[in-house]
Chain A
Amino acid sequence: MSAGEDRERRRRELEAAADELFDALYPEDLAALVAKYDSRPKLRTAAVDRAEKVADRLAKTDAPVNSDEYVLLIAACLTWGKKQAGVAQNTTHATTKFLRYRRFAELPLGILVRTDRIVPDDDRVIGLLARSLRIRSGVTDARPAGEPELILNIVVPAIVAALAPGPDQPPDPAADVALVGTALDVLERGAELAAEYRVSRRPVPVVGTDLPVAGNADFLVRIAAYRLAIEQRRGLVATRLLDGLQEAVVELTSILRKAMTRSTSRWGRHGSDEPDVATAINQFASYLGSAAKDAAAGQRVSTVNTVLSYRLRLDELPDETPIRDPRCRSSSAPGGAEHAARLSDVEHLIGWLIAALFQGVGKGTQKALLEWLNGKELADQQKHLPLLVRRLRVATTVLDQAPTSRPPRPAGVTPDQFAALAARLIAAVDPGEIHGYECADARRVTLAALPPLWTRRRPAIQLLAAHLRVLIGPGHSGPRQAALVAAYGVRAPVQFVQPSTTPLPVPCCPDAGTAGRPAAGGRPRQPAPYQEICPHRPWGEIGWVENYRTLGDAAGFTAEAARRQLERYNGPWPELLWP
């Protein structure tokens, strides 16, 4: 093979690697790059050009670039300035960065790049991040249930920073195993201390109720307890632990108060891209990090937490998610279609369903969607439920418009994955469900294809309402708005909100009277008639589930006020109000 052919092949492989990397990036990171080069192909050309130069340079050394490192190489050719992202103009810089990335090749690319965006060229932060990820998965593997990821992302980096022997050492599996054991001990100790403190009913310094996270004093106690547990492990505290904890809570409260009174930290104000709770969590991380000997560790732990918890916010939709006229277009004539034609209709609708669910989402969301669509996410599991409900609202809106073009394959989903997924969902649909009414067909196909997300609707509403309360923040009508928007959004594919204020018959169904849960004794529910409003319908039952009056009653508004609140709503998760 000639040198020219070799170069040609390498270029093709680098281009493929560039596409793989772009799909792995967080959407907003990719958007920042594309913005500079007008289009993704132009960006790819620039990155591959630079990558070839780096590869040429390293070819002359004893550590040339292997073809399985091409993705990493492309990533190293990207630069992340304060204001602008782009492709490295300088081969030496790109080469240095590649050699550094190579040492952290185990990290997911999206995370590697995100870290680099926040603290460019900081080995110690990336080292701490890599180790924290390994310890975190060791900790979650060790127990079937444990601390939520939010807490692990704060505490584990702090444990690693304070207690890892030689934090800058290269990866060592034996040391990692020992550190996982240490982390489990510290986490247990922290939880115990928090419980002891709580049961002792010592006074907790009153924290302003306008601070969402700080509003829960017990959460502060818990964070302070983890810090004490770390210090105890370092041999710094021995006696009078609860006194120490009380002092720590006071200190933490004052740190938090200062951080939270920034005027830009309120949701909805200009210049803020994250809710108060994110600001507070970052303060927690910095506070825990300062339990380490090294004075700079607090900042590093806080940065690592920002990167890790960024994934938790990935479910935020990018702004460019299309909002189109949600009204259904009616089809020309119902019925009369052949079986084959109906099947192709099913294929068309499923293709669009997948396209709409995956539209504009990043890697983490893709994973959650795939688990759901492949039936691995069981009904009533909370972890991804708010995200999936919101994707469902986006998908039903897109499908209601009955797109006639060929459905696009979502970025980041391989052709094989797409085909397998489509086949699986199509198999779940009975072509007899297709009657030739576009809007109704789309809804019925969606219902048949998607695994149920809940068995009882009420607790699913409560889960979303709770998350919305945290996101909206406290305030006069915040909790009631949250209840309203959650009840509007939590609907199965063929369930709707009736734009009316008529009162419901009381009770609407037998489930209404049994303290809000299905009646005891296993008596099967008689489905409420389609044309009646019943908020208790399970996932598979079709019909109206709410109107302005039921929504208002549940949230403490009159029917008319509920309608106005919904019209005016401009808070988080607006897609919950889509059809």
Chain B
Amino acid sequence: MGVTTWDGHLRIDHLADAGAIALTLLTVEPVTEAELRTGLIAGFVTADPQGPPTFVAVALQDGRIPDDVATLLGPRVSMAVADLLAASRSGQWLQLDLVEIDDLAVAWAPYRAFTLVADQPVPTSRGALGSWADELWTCLGLPIWHDALRALGGPPAAQLRGSDQPARGDESDSPVVRGTWRLPDDLAAAVDVDPDVAWTLRPAAQDVIEIDLRVQPVQPIGQPPGAVLHAGLDDGSQRWVPFEADATGGLRARLISSDDPVSVRFRSQSRGPK
């Protein structure tokens, strides 16, 4: 007795006044919720480190849910959302089976780690692995990173709260924050890079911060990697930047951010025959 997310009772509601879609996988278990970015909220069962999202609220863009959310929800749920938006009804139920729930849990794993991180006594510096259609992805959304972004964008006197990493660099006039972070091994292996990502935050202009990301390729064993690492700000823009070789033999990607605390996502992009 009892209803849990794994039972697969999915309710989809179209809230026309709020311009949003709410998805609820019914459960009686306690839930932790987080705003992943403006217009995207997700909740996960607090005691389930492997679970699917129990709640997703997503703001509509041009009358549709954003492509990345549709990808993470998978084809069947996205289709049901599209059908609901096209129909005159405001809500419907969908029964998901265990494999469908599992796919949701696997796809949303990086966001789950981000959401449940508040309950972790020791903050991790390693991203959780998720599936992104047929690719892999992860999310860099550490509190320490958000704090750094906020501090850089604030008045010069703003101090980072005590931590030895990230540390301020000294080599230029503008304040710089550096740190490292680890990709999940499977994602790093898929794109043939070392899991360590070195990141640098540097104010580029008023309210604009440059995010510089570097990884080292592992020695190629014969053939070029099957997939390329991409990075993108999790701001709803859906823009992805590929890592490209720089002069030092490393791989590098640059993102431009406002000083809003925004996460960075990484994913593989296969070199298909497309």
Contact = CB atoms under 8 A, between A and B. Distances in A.
A463 B22 contact: no
A218 B91 contact: no
A348 B130 CA distance: 48
B97 A380 contact: yes
A216 B55 contact: no
B93 A147 contact: yes
A458 B51 CA distance: 11
A194 B55 CA distance: 12
A513 interface: yes
A147 B17 CA distance: 24
B93 A515 contact: no
Interface in B184-227: 186, 189
A462 B99 contact: no
Contacts of A148: 3, 7, 9, 26
Contacts of B26: 148, 151, 219, 222
B129 interface: yes
Contact of A219 (B20, B27, B92, B102): B27
- For chain B, give the interface size range: 35 or more
A144 to B, nearest CB: 8
Interface stretch (A195-203, A232-240, A256-264): A195-203
B259 to A, nearest CB: 24
B61 interface: no
Contacts of A195: 11, 13, 15, 22, 24, 91
Interface in A447-497: 454-456, 458-460, 462-463, 465-467, 469-471, 474, 478-479
Query: Chain B interface secondary structure, helix, strand, loop or mixed?
Result: mixed
Given A199-B20, A469-B29, A150 B50 contact: no
A456 B134 contact: no
B67 interface: no
Interface stretch (A31-39, A82-90, A207-215): A207-215
Contacts of A466: 4-7, 27, 29, 45, 48, 51
A454 B13 contact: no
Nearest to B9: A148
Nearest to B4: A466
Given A313-B1, A459-B6, A520-B134, A196 B15 contact: yes
Nearest to B10: A145
A275 interface: yes
Contacts of A42: none
A469 B92 CA distance: 28
A277 interface: yes
B101 interface: yes
B93 A382 contact: no
B267 to A, nearest CB: 12
B131 interface: yes
Interface string A406-449: 00000000000000000000000000000000000000000000
Contacts of A380: 97-99
Contacts of A108: none
A465 B6 CA distance: 9
B57 interface: yes
Interface stretch (B103-111, B149-157, B174-182, B244-252): B103-111
A81 interface: no
Tell me what chain A mostly uses at the interface: helix, strand, loop, or mixed: helix
Contacts of A465: 48
A169 interface: no
A198 B55 CA distance: 9
Given A192-B90, A192-B91, A459-B6, A517 B13 contact: no
Contacts of A150: 1-3
A515 B13 contact: no
A332 interface: no
A479 B13 contact: no
B86 interface: no
A275 B28 CA distance: 13
Nearest to B106: A515
A459 B15 CA distance: 31
Contacts of B11: 191, 195
Contacts of A281: 1
B70 interface: no
A147 B9 contact: yes
Contacts of B98: 380-382, 385, 454, 456, 459-460, 463
A147 B26 CA distance: 9
Interface in B26-50: 26-31, 41, 43, 45, 47-48, 50
Nearest to A212: B28
Interface string A517-528: 100110000000
B242 to A, nearest CB: 21
Contacts of B15: 192, 195-196, 199
Interface in A296-354: 309, 312-313
B94 interface: yes
Contacts of A514: 131, 186
Interface string A176-205: 000000000000100110111011110000
Given A209-B30, A466-B4, A455 B9 contact: no
A215 B29 contact: yes
Nearest to B54: A218
A60 interface: no
Given A147-B93, A466-B5, A218 B24 contact: yes
B122 interface: no
A143 B94 CA distance: 10
A516 interface: yes
B77 interface: no
A145 B9 CA distance: 8
A383 B1 CA distance: 11
Contacts of B94: 145
A538 to B, nearest CB: 12
A278 interface: yes
B270 to A, nearest CB: 10
B226 to A, nearest CB: 11
B26 to A, nearest CB: 6
A270 B27 CA distance: 28
A403 interface: no
A378 B98 CA distance: 11
Contacts of A200: 18
Contacts of A222: 26
Contacts of A469: 4, 29, 47-48
Interface of A: 143-148, 150-151, 188, 191-192, 194-196, 198-201, 209, 212-213, 215-219, 222, 275, 277-278, 281, 309, 312-313, 378, 380-383, 385, 454-456, 458-460, 462-463, 465-467, 469-471, 474, 478-479, 513-517, 520-521
21 contacts: A144-B95, A148-B7, A148-B9, A196-B13, A196-B15, A196-B17, A198-B57, A216-B29, A217-B30, A218-B31, A275-B1, A312-B1, A381-B97, A382-B97, A456-B102, A459-B6, A466-B48, A470-B1, A474-B47, A479-B47, A515-B129
Interface of B: 1-9, 11, 13, 15, 17-18, 20, 22, 24, 26-31, 41, 43, 45, 47-48, 50-51, 54-55, 57, 90-95, 97-99, 101-103, 105-106, 109, 129-131, 134, 136, 186, 189
Given A145-B92, A309-B1, 7 more contacts: A192-B90, A201-B41, A215-B28, A381-B97, A456-B99, A474-B47, A515-B130
